[in-house]
Amino acid sequence: MKWSISAHNTMRRCHRQLMFTQIVASHNARDVERREAFILKQLQYINTWQGSLIHEVLASSIPVALQTSRKINVEEMSLKAKELAMRQFAFSKAKLYRASGQTKSAAGDAFCALAEHEFDIPISQATVDRVFDAIKLCFDNLASQREFLQLLETGSRHKTEINMPFKLNGFTISANPDLFFISVRGKKIIVDWKIAESETSDYSKQLIVYGLALLSNGWWPDISATDIELYEVNLLKNYVRKHPFDADRVNEAEDFIFASTAEMTGLIGDIKYNDLESNEFEPANSPLTCAFCNFRPLCIQWLEKKGQSIENIFAVEKLLKTNSNDLAGTTNMIQGSLL
Ligand code: SF4
């Protein structure tokens, strides 16, 4: 079985959502429900999308820029993100993510599936302008982080969105930090970009899991925790936070993964799609969680099929009838509290 920090967060939000992501969603399945779950799994709300855009541009630009000029051109990245935003928005608006053969790998960087388009929620020009403003702000903020940029520009072996899987408690632990490089002092640096409004969200668990991945995946057999530095860089709020990493944090990361994987085993174990009829997965406790859940349409069908309560979903439908400004506000609130 596979475990990731995002699967853990999904489990915290809603067991039924975990079921849809881990068991039901399948790109290759012939079953209509499973393919639909796969499409819904790819949806993101506009606030999350602005973060994805910035991540994509940073991932594609940083290694190239540092190999060619040893300098990060923040202005160029900002323009690139805006151009990408326009192409992705057009792709999503036309609902091309539903077209046959339009997978992420086939469509390239234009691929985008916005939940607002899928659920016919109006997107005002003001909302789109806010995305462009956020993109500019994030790159301006990056330009202002001179000390961090110097660390980045003087480093070597930059790699973005690397895959550092390792085994623990019978699971394959998936760890994909946004950026890895080696500093001039020889430290192994892991960076995770955040594009989040909330300054109080705690990303320390995610960062220490990445540190544990670097210790465990065999790239450097003799590496120790003190050789690793972990940075959370919030480009929207403009701060760089260095997370401590030592032997105690390694134990903490292992304990956290052990506890989470044990809980996940208890919930989904080796349950297959065809076994689902006889298995129960609890819905979310709060209708606010349902309000921004991609699987809402499938969940409604699922609950109705089983003759179960759909009170949460009714609350969701009421929420979705609010206007788009309210919706954006609620999205911020949920992202701040849940992600
Ligand atoms: S709609 Fe609600 S109960 Fe259903 S999967 Fe989503 S969060 Fe869970």
Specify the pLDDT at position 104: 81
pLDDT average, residue stretch 257-283: 89
Please say whether the beta carbons of 214 and 207 come within 8 A: no
| Mean pLDDT within 279-284 | 83
Three-class SS state of 241: strand
Of 178-182, 232-236, 241-245, 329-333, which gets the smallest average pLDDT?
Answer: 329-333
| DSSP count for the chain of H helices, then E strands | 15, 8
What token pair was written down for 123? 């997107």
**Entry field: residues in the chain:** 339
Q: What percent of the chain has pLDDT over 70?
A: 90
Pocket of ligand 1 from Cβ distances under 6 Å: 14, 16-17, 20, 283-284, 289-290, 293, 295-296, 299, 312
**Is pLDDT at 200 greater than 80 in this prediction?**
no
CA of 157 to the centre of ligand 1 (A): 42
C-alpha 52/C-alpha 104 separation (Å) is 14
The letter for the amino acid at 145 is Q
Euclidean distance between CA atoms 131 and 21, whole angstroms: 27
In the chain, domain spans: 44-144, 152-274, 284-338
Kindly report the CATH number that applies to the domain delimited by 152-274.
Answer: 3.90.320.10
Choice from 19, 292, 299 to test ligand 1 binding pocket (greatest atom count within 8 A of CB): 299
Per-residue buried b or exposed e for 149-181, using 16+ beta carbons within 10 Å of the residue's own CB: bebbbebeebebebebebebbebebbbbbbbbb
Instruction: Show Cβ contacts of residue 21 under 8 Å, excluding neighbours closer than 6 positions.
Output: 7, 10, 37, 41
Q: How confident is the model at residue 318 (pLDDT cuts 50, 70, 90)?
A: low
Question: Per-residue pLDDT averaged across 206-214, rounded?
Answer: 97
Q: What percent of the chain has pLDDT over 90?
A: 69
Locate the DSSP E strands across the chain.
2-3, 156-160, 166-168, 171-173, 179-182, 188-194, 228-234, 239-243
As a whole number, the mean pLDDT across the chain is 88
| Prediction pTM value | 0.88
Nearest Cα to 47, choosing from 337, 309, 334?
Answer: 334
One-letter identity of residue 33: E
Q: Which of 31-40, 132-141, 301-310 shows the lowest per-residue confidence on average (mean pLDDT)?
A: 301-310
Beta-carbon contacts of residue 296 (< 8 Å; ≥ 6 apart): 119, 290, 313, 316
pLDDT at site 129: 95
Which residue type occupies 99? Answer: A
The answer to which of 54-68, 167-181, 242-256, 267-281 has the lowest mean pLDDT is 267-281
* CA 91 / ligand 1 centre spacing (Å): 27
Is the confidence at residue 100, as pLDDT, over 70?
Answer: yes
Which has more pLDDT, 218 or 164? 164
Average pLDDT over residues 32-39: 94
Tally of CA atoms within 13 A in the half-sphere of 285 that contains its CB: 4
